[in-house]
Amino acid sequence: MKILVVGSGGREHAIVWKIAQSPKVDKIYCAPGNGGIGECAECVDIGAMEFERLAAFAKEKEIDLTVIGMDDPLCGGIVDVFEREGLRVFGPRKNAAILEGSKAFSKDLMKKYGIPTAAYEVFTDPEQAMAYLETAKFPIVLKADGLALGKGVLICGSLEEAKAGVKTLMLDKQFGSAGDEIVIEEFMTGREVSVLSFVDGQTIRIMTSAQDHKRAKDGDQGLNTGGMGTFSPSPFYTAEVDAYCREHIYQKTVDAMRAEGREFKGIIFFGLMLTADGPKVLEYNARFGDPETQVVLPRMKNDIVEVFEACVDGTLDQVELEFEDNAAVCVVLASDGYPEKYEKGLPISGLERFAGKTDYFVFHAGTKRDGDGRILTNGGRVLGVTATGADLKEARKKAYEATEWVEFANKYMRHDIGKAIDEA
């Protein structure tokens, strides 16, 4: 088979790496890809939002299956374009990707179908949002409806802060039209867990749990980022939590989407909070999480291409997912200054130490290859260093060891990825 992956981050590197393990695959392309992806796929210089060019490329190269990694093209309807052209593609159509693309939609869906989530109201009028806040309890959470690069959620400790937040989102339009509508929701407390799943429209298969670290600095300080590290499984995702979510959240979400005429095929990422009242959905994503993918896929035993095909064909009920009985930790190596200002174009050394290892992985997020074949930094998050181990502690020790193998100027990482492991 020939496969095309659309995207360019650590997530896509992990997906491409996993696809490359499949005996069914002869050739992998990745558009646009990055410096590391180039080692297991042919990178193609077409942007992820250039749907027509991507579809034309897929036709020309007779691609058997295209896998979409990123949220923007999914919410923009790339799957619809590919299907219209008669191309096989893995991911939700635009009318289903709205599960991630509109927080107001997902909240209303959960309310309508009795899926546990925080209490909320939706506002399109800033005046009404302000008036509502006058009688609200604090802290309170404001969420821009649309995609906002993970920055559209504000947790406000006081009325003043919340009013300023409404202004930022709805009047100043810091996230553009993503803030035309906002969700104001109850503040919850508890541990957060991410759960990834495959869905074929009807059947859902849970992969495993993971936990992300969004803040830039140790101790969950600093600005929000795309993710500074992950571990899998989460020790807090117990059999009891799993049973509850299977009964009240996972299948119900898939059935709700079908009932709405928005059959969901692809990945559903459940962002959960384990509250005193039981697990509740914080949000849905309509694709693999990054960097969760970098700890989940190295633990997966299945041929991922078979699972992708089962989702597209609607035969996921015949597939059982299998994961290693181990653990994985990923530490992101960033450029100091991320997520604000940072340098690019710095040479990276030591990557060859990962070659041929089956328990250490380096996934490239922001890298590029120069004319001499050297790998240079090309983004804020540069690499994801993952290690697997018998348990979380061993995986963490190995992952941090491996962070020392790689060098580049201004290398920055958090030192407390997986700290929660000690509290479990």
**Residues binding ligand ADP (CB under 6 A):** 118, 141, 143, 150, 152-153, 155, 185-188, 192, 271, 282-283
CA atoms within 13 A on the CB side of 363: 32
Size of the site for Mg ion (CB under 5 A): 1
The 8-class DSSP code of residue 351 comes to G
In the complex, minimum distance from the CB of residue 174 to ligand ADP, in angstroms, rounded to a whole number:
13
Looking at the Cβ atoms of 119 and 409, the one nearer to ligand ADP is 119
For 246, the token pair is 């299977």
| DSSP class per residue in 9-68 | SHHHHHHHHHHHT-TT-SEEEEEE--TTGGGTSEE----TT-HHHHHHHHHHTT-SEEEE
Residue 153's binding partner out of Mg ion, ligand ADP, none, with CB under 5 to 8 Å set by partner kind: ligand ADP
Residue 187's binding partner out of ligand ADP, Mg ion, none, with CB under 5 to 8 Å set by partner kind: ligand ADP
Q: Which of 71, 293, 331 is nearest to 213 (CA)?
A: 331
Residue with tokens 């998050």: 381
Residue 185's binding partner out of Mg ion, ligand ADP, none, with CB under 5 to 8 Å set by partner kind: ligand ADP
In the complex, minimum distance from the CB of residue 145 to Mg ion, in angstroms, rounded to a whole number:
14
In the complex, minimum distance from the CB of residue 207 to ligand ADP, in angstroms, rounded to a whole number:
18
**Cβ-contact 219, 184 below 8 angstroms:** no
Residue 272's binding partner out of Mg ion, ligand ADP, none, with CB under 5 to 8 Å set by partner kind: none
In the complex, minimum distance from the CB of residue 44 to ligand ADP, in angstroms, rounded to a whole number:
29
339: cis peptide before it, omega within 30°? yes
Q: Which of 136, 132, 129, 190 is nearest to 158 (CA)?
A: 136
Residues ≥6 apart with Cβ < 8 Å to 374:
347
In the complex, minimum distance from the CB of residue 210 to ligand ADP, in angstroms, rounded to a whole number:
13
In the complex, minimum distance from the CB of residue 243 to ligand ADP, in angstroms, rounded to a whole number:
23
Residues ≥6 apart with Cβ < 8 Å to 416:
213, 218, 219
User: Site mask, Mg ion, residues 267-296, x = CB under 5 A?
Assistant: ----x-------------------------
Applying CB under 5 A, the span of 166-174, 180-188, 265-273, 293-301 interacting with Mg ion comes to 265-273
Looking at the Cβ atoms of 115 and 141, the one nearer to ligand ADP is 141
Residues ≥6 apart with Cβ < 8 Å to 306:
22, 24, 319
**Cβ-contact 377, 298 below 8 angstroms:** no
Looking at the Cβ atoms of 352 and 423, the one nearer to ligand ADP is 423
Looking at the Cβ atoms of 161 and 306, the one nearer to ligand ADP is 161
In the complex, minimum distance from the CB of residue 351 to Mg ion, in angstroms, rounded to a whole number:
30
In the complex, minimum distance from the CB of residue 283 to Mg ion, in angstroms, rounded to a whole number:
5
**Cβ-contact 383, 363 below 8 angstroms:** yes
**Cβ-contact 254, 96 below 8 angstroms:** no
* Closest residue to Mg ion: CB criterion: 271
Residue with tokens 């509109």: 102
In the complex, minimum distance from the CB of residue 306 to ligand ADP, in angstroms, rounded to a whole number:
30
Looking at the Cβ atoms of 280 and 368, the one nearer to ligand ADP is 280
Could you give the CA distance from residue 105 to residue 286 in angstroms, rounded to a whole number? 13
In the complex, minimum distance from the CB of residue 344 to ligand ADP, in angstroms, rounded to a whole number:
25
Looking at the Cβ atoms of 149 and 171, the one nearer to Mg ion is 149
Residue with tokens 């290690």: 387
Looking at the Cβ atoms of 85 and 186, the one nearer to ligand ADP is 186
Residue 396's binding partner out of Mg ion, ligand ADP, none, with CB under 5 to 8 Å set by partner kind: none
Residue 389's binding partner out of Mg ion, ligand ADP, none, with CB under 5 to 8 Å set by partner kind: none
* Closest residue to ligand ADP: CB criterion: 283
Residue 118's binding partner out of Mg ion, ligand ADP, none, with CB under 5 to 8 Å set by partner kind: ligand ADP
Looking at the Cβ atoms of 42 and 186, the one nearer to ligand ADP is 186
Could you give the CA distance from residue 314 to residue 286 in angstroms, rounded to a whole number? 17
Residues ≥6 apart with Cβ < 8 Å to 49:
72, 73, 76
Could you give the CA distance from residue 125 to residue 97 in angstroms, rounded to a whole number? 25
Binding-site ranges for Mg ion (CB under 5 A): 271
